[in-house]
Amino acid sequence: MTDSFDLGARFFGYGSLVNLATHDYPDPTGATLTGWRRVWRHALARPVAFLSVEPCAHTTLHGITAQVPRGDWAALDLREHAYLRRDVSAQFRVPTAVFEANPSHTAPPSTGHPILLSYLDVVVAGFATLMGDDPNSGGAAHFFATTTGWGPVLDDRAAPLYPRAQPLHPDTRATVDAALAALAVPVQPAQSARLLVDAIRASRPAATTSLHDTVGHDQRDQPE
């Protein structure tokens, strides 16, 4: 895979990009990627955790592929400077990449860098739409089974901090809550973390067009 222009080039989305209501990238198409799993990470410069991927030989991820804007790999790499472009073209018919947060610059989620519940809700809703809502084989079940690195969750549903939060179906709420309980993931109400909430709000940049969109880093650096 080169840095030249390739109008057929695509990237694999494995997190919020699966929810097509969060973006308008051209030609989103359901796809699978073998040899990788989702993982929660955070970077010191970002106040919240976000999804990345890491190699895992026996895992197959469901997600989407979409066209690289204008087929310009170099421009995409410049925007996604905090991420490493991994060539997975061998699994597709066209040049395709998946973006991995640089492991040397990231760490697992923590109390000071939590997972936003409003972000998680959007991701799970996207997978339910993509793969159905069967409790054993649907999209939510797949997402939780193929995601690791869980850490503290901040419950911001009452006043979402995720800039692309969507209306939440009661079934999605129940599914997410049950999965977090089964994983024994600690959930902290946003009302009891006012200083953290204020810091997250203060870090929110102006929206731009890119692959990433969690709070604290705009769409320029979230290709998931």
Joined tokens for residue 114: 């939590």
CA–CA distance, 86 with 120 (Å, rounded to integer): 24
In this prediction, residue 162 carries a pLDDT of: 95
In this prediction, residue 70 carries a pLDDT of: 83
Contact 53, 39 (CB under 8 A): yes
In this prediction, residue 213 carries a pLDDT of: 47
Query: How many alpha carbons lie under 13 Å from residue 58 in its C-beta half-sphere?
Result: 1
Q: Phi and psi at residue 39, in whole multiples of 5°?
A: -150, 140
- DSSP state, residue 158: T
**Which amino acid is located at 219 in the chain?**
Q
Joined tokens for residue 16: 């919020």
96-101/83-87 β-pairing: antiparallel
153-155/187-189 β-pairing: parallel
Handedness of CA 184, 189, 192, 196 (dihedral sign): positive
Q: Which fold has domain 10-105?
A: Hypothetical upf0131 protein ytfp (3.10.490)
Rounded to two decimals, the pTM is 0.89
CA–CA distance, 86 with 214 (Å, rounded to integer): 21
Joined tokens for residue 108: 């697992």
In this prediction, residue 203 carries a pLDDT of: 82
Query: How many alpha carbons lie under 13 Å from residue 153 in its C-beta half-sphere?
Result: 21
For residue 163, the tally of other CB atoms under 10 A from its CB is 16
**Which amino acid is located at 53 in the chain?**
V
Each domain of the chain, given as residue ranges in start order, spans 10-105, 115-215
CA–CA distance, 95 with 123 (Å, rounded to integer): 25
Taking Cα atoms as reference points, which of 192, 18, 3, 8 lies closest to residue 120?
A: 18
In this prediction, residue 124 carries a pLDDT of: 97
In this prediction, residue 211 carries a pLDDT of: 57
In this prediction, residue 219 carries a pLDDT of: 42
Show the beta-strand stretches assigned E in the chain.
Answer: 10-13, 29-41, 50-67, 83-87, 96-101, 115-116, 147-148, 153-155, 187-189
Q: Which residues of the chain have pLDDT under 70?
A: 1-5, 204-223
In this prediction, residue 132 carries a pLDDT of: 94
